[in-house]
């Protein structure tokens, strides 16, 4: 099976968590914000390790050691459920085998390494996810050493020949296998797919696990049915809570998106420096520890960053009680960036910067968070995670949803005179700091008709249309790969239930579609009576992902396709994203 390109949600999470390694039980705020316990249906959560394994009748055990904040784990979780379903079908088939000597069974399980950090340490789990495989007897025997507080070496020296006798008492292997019964193996050759894990097991056991007939769509449907969520209910299909009626956008998600974006900018991007500032920095009495460069770019990012922080200081959304506090905190950061750049930065070097003799600096995000707070909030509070932007599918929505919320909120706070400038400043931040290259490049292809952006309303409608242009493209990709969030399918926004007056009532056929999932617009922008069938992936020799182009839909085309009422739509956007404005703007 060809490896799929890195998904948008996973890519963003990887940017925020660059190294997926075992961490302390309490992750930092930016990792805690991404915590997601996947709803296991076919895999068994091991919460009482030894008793659960002792009570199992399986011959072999496959365990996925994961961290709920880990993006790789979130991306793999649906595939692991596919594998667990294949294991259940294998066990059911084996139960029908009449010969006891030919029977084998497998338990597919998971361990949450954030909750059970010591257990994961015992099994030498240092990265996530880690998949391990072995005979159940051996899992139990070794796990009991942890309970006794005995090391493996101590157990071997004290048991002596008893271990050999124990192996004899275990009897013959349940099925022909190339796996040593005394070994717990780490599956270290997989590529992040259920197919590769099944192949690894089949190569060692000849069990013949078959996962080909189990689609992601099937697993997504079963998992979504099992989820009891207040955001989802059935209305002629499954729709999100956002489709159940109007609700104001949650400022919290925009703030969390901004916090994560600021950290990502500082952690991964270098800024240009000047000779004067370099001399000022080297002559300073206090010099902070040199920052190891992790820069992804050396382009002229300084003005884009300082300008973007300045825009946040003027337009940042907040609830009524904290508007002044939020913008004041950003004004302080903006002032510090302008007046004490040398004191905030450390020089870094890359091979490219040394060749070009370019001076580059970075700001240590941990240092900045130690002496500055967004909205005067303790950074640990942001570990609370997403509110409206929380998906029902791990790795979905979250960060990108938070960014879109921030874009809409910022635009709602602009003025007619500054509408075009603010729009271009946010786009400039996207082109410099949004690190999903494919996503960024497609977004930047959406044209900005400068002659048409004359008011705040014009800018709001531009962002709304851009959002739907992206929805069309991402929706088509999710159809291809069958991996969209089942609770929040990509469709033209807002839904008719969210804003009943945002579309003109055109004909009885159109009226019959309203309020149902049949209203979904496909990737070509065409309203269909039923949800579109998934688009089949073309079988090509190349491993390159299929190109899904941006479909440029201007406001006139959008109105024609969806019968939008732009006046009512502007009213909807105003109500959804309007927040209190402080008396003083910085």
Length, in residues, of the chain: 586
Residues ≥6 apart with Cβ < 8 Å to 188: none
Contacts of residues 337-341 at CB distance under 8 Å and 24 or more positions apart, as own/partner, are 337/305, 337/306, 337/309, 338/306, 341/277
CA distance linking residue 202 with residue 190, whole number of Å: 13
**Torsion angle (degrees, nearest 10) of CA 470, 474, 476, 479:** -150
- Written as one string, the DSSP assignment of 74-127 is HHHHHHHHHHHHHHHHHHHHHHT-S-GGG---EEEEEEETTT-HHHHHHTT--B
Among candidate residues 337, 331, 371, the one with its CA nearest the CA of residue 265: 337
| Phi and psi, residue 130, nearest 5° | -120, 125
For residue 388, the tally of other CB atoms under 10 A from its CB is 19
- Specify the pairing of strand 106-112 against strand 232-234: unpaired
Residue recorded with tokens 């579609």: 513
* Res 515: pLDDT: 31
3-state SS, residue 26: coil
CA distance linking residue 185 with residue 574, whole number of Å: 57
Among candidate residues 338, 318, 341, the one with its CA nearest the CA of residue 328: 318
3-state SS, residue 484: coil
Cis peptide bond upstream of 66, omega within 30:
no
Among candidate residues 288, 276, 428, 426, the one with its CA nearest the CA of residue 365: 288
CA distance linking residue 382 with residue 260, whole number of Å: 9
Supply the angle between the helices 419-433 and 456-481 in degrees, to the nearest 10. 30
For residue 316, the tally of other CB atoms under 10 A from its CB is 28
* Res 527: pLDDT: 32
How would you classify residue 322: left for phi > 0, otherwise alpha for psi between -120 and 50, otherwise beta?
alpha
**Torsion angle (degrees, nearest 10) of CA 410, 413, 415, 420:** 10
For residue 452, the tally of other CB atoms under 10 A from its CB is 14
**Torsion angle (degrees, nearest 10) of CA 413, 416, 419, 421:** -120
CA distance linking residue 189 with residue 196, whole number of Å: 8
CA distance linking residue 256 with residue 379, whole number of Å: 10
Helix (H) or strand (E) holding 219: helix 216-226
pLDDT in tens, 63-95: 999 988 787 888 888 889 999 999 999 999 988
Structure tokens at 36: 């997601």
* Res 88: pLDDT: 93
Specify the CATH class of 8-32+40-226 in words. alpha beta
Are 31 and 398 in contact by the 8 Å Cβ rule? The answer is: no
Name the DSSP letter for residue 188.
-
Are 525 and 551 in contact by the 8 Å Cβ rule? The answer is: yes
Residue recorded with tokens 């197919």: 195
Contacts of residues 259-262 at CB distance under 8 Å and 24 or more positions apart, as own/partner, are 259/30, 259/374, 259/379, 259/382, 260/16, 260/30, 260/33, 260/399, 260/402, 261/403, 261/406, 261/433, 262/309, 262/365, 262/374
Are 53 and 46 in contact by the 8 Å Cβ rule? The answer is: yes
Helix (H) or strand (E) holding 165: helix 162-169
CA distance linking residue 530 with residue 304, whole number of Å: 44
* Res 90: pLDDT: 93
Structure tokens at 395: 């790795």
Name the DSSP letter for residue 490.
-
| Phi and psi, residue 425, nearest 5° | -70, -40
Burial class of 48 by CB neighbour count within 10 A (0 to 12, 13 to 18, 19+): exposed
- Written as one string, the DSSP assignment of 363-391 is --HHHHHHH--GGG--GGGGGG--STTB-
- Specify the pairing of strand 130-135 against strand 238-240: unpaired
Burial class of 103 by CB neighbour count within 10 A (0 to 12, 13 to 18, 19+): middle
Dihedral angle sign, alpha carbons of residues 326, 582, 339, 286: negative
For residue 498, the tally of other CB atoms under 10 A from its CB is 19
Bridge partners of residue 108, in order along the sequence = 62
Q: Which residues of the chain have pLDDT under 70?
A: 1-25, 98-102, 146-182, 189-190, 224-246, 274-300, 350-352, 507-547, 550, 552, 580-586
């Amino acid at each position: 099976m060809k490896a799929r390109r890195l998904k948008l949600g996973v890519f963003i999470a990887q940017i925020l968590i660059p190294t997926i390694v075992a961490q302390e039980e309490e992750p930092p705020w930016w990792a805690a914000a991404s915590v997601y316990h996947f709803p296991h249906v076919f895999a068994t959560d091991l919460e009482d390790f030894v008793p659960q394994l002792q009570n199992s009748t399986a011959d072999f055990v496959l365990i996925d050691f994961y961290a709920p904040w880990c993006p790789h784990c979130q991306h793999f979780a649906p595939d692991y459920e596919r594998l667990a379903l294949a294991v259940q079908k294998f066990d059911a088939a084996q139960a029908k085998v009449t010969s006891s000597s030919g029977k084998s069974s497998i338990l597919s399980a998971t361990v949450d390494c954030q909750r059970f950090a010591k257990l994961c340490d015992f099994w030498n789990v240092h990265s996530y996810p880690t998949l391990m495989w072995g005979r159940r007897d051996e899992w139990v025997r070794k796990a009991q050493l942890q309970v006794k507080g005995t090391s493996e070496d101590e157990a071997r020296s004290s048991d002596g020949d008893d271990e050999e006798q124990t192996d004899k008492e275990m009897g013959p292997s349940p099925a022909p296998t190339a796996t040593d019964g005394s070994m717990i193996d780490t599956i270290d050759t997989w590529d992040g797919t259920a197919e590769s894990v099944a192949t690894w097991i089949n190569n060692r056991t000849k069990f013949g696990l078959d996962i080909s007939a189990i689609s992601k769509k099937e697993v997504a449907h079963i998992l979504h049915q099992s989820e009891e969520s207040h955001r989802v209910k059935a209305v002629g299909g499954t729709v999100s809570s956002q489709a159940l009626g109007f609700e104001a956008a949650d400022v919290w998600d925009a703030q969390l998106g901004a916090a994560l974006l600021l950290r990502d900018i500082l952690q991964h991007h270098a800024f240009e420096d000047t000779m004067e500032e370099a001399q000022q920095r080297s002559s300073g009495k206090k010099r902070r520890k040199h920052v190891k460069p992790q820069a992804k770019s050396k382009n002229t990012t300084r003005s884009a960053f300082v300008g973007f922080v300045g825009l946040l200081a003027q337009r940042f959304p907040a609830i009524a009680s904290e508007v002044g506090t939020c913008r004041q905190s950003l004004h302080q950061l903006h002032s510090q960036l302008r007046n004490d750049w040398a004191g905030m930065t450390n020089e870094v070097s890359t091979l490219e910067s040394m060749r070009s003799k370019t001076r580059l600096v970075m700001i240590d995000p941990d240092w900045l968070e130690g002496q500055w707070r967004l909205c005067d909030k303790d950074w640990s509070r942001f570990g609370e995670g997403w509110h409206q932007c929380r998906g029902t599918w791990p790795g979905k929505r979250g960060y990108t949803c938070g960014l879109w919320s921030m874009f809409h909120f910022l635009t709602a706070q602009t003025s007619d005179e500054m509408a075009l400038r603010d729009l271009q400043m946010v786009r400039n931040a996207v082109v410099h700091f949004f690190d999903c290259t494919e996503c960024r490049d497609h977004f930047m292809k959406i044209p900005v008709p400068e002659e048409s952006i004359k008011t705040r309303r014009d800018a709001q409608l531009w962002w709304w249309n851009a959002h739907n242009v992206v929805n069309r493209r991402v929706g088509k990709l999710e159809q291809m790969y069958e991996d969209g969030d089942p609770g929040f399918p990509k469709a033209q926004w807002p839904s008719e239930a969210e804003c009943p007056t945002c579309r003109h009532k055109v004909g009885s056929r159109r009226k019959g579609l309203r309020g149902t999932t049949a209203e979904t617009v496909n990737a070509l922008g065409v309203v269909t009576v039923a949800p579109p069938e998934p688009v089949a992936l073309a079988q090509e020799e190349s491993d390159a992902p299929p190109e899904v182009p941006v479909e440029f839909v201007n406001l006139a085309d959008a109105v024609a396709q969806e019968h939008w009422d732009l006046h009512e739509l502007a009213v909807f956007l105003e109500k959804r994203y309007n927040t209190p404005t402080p008396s003083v703007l910085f």
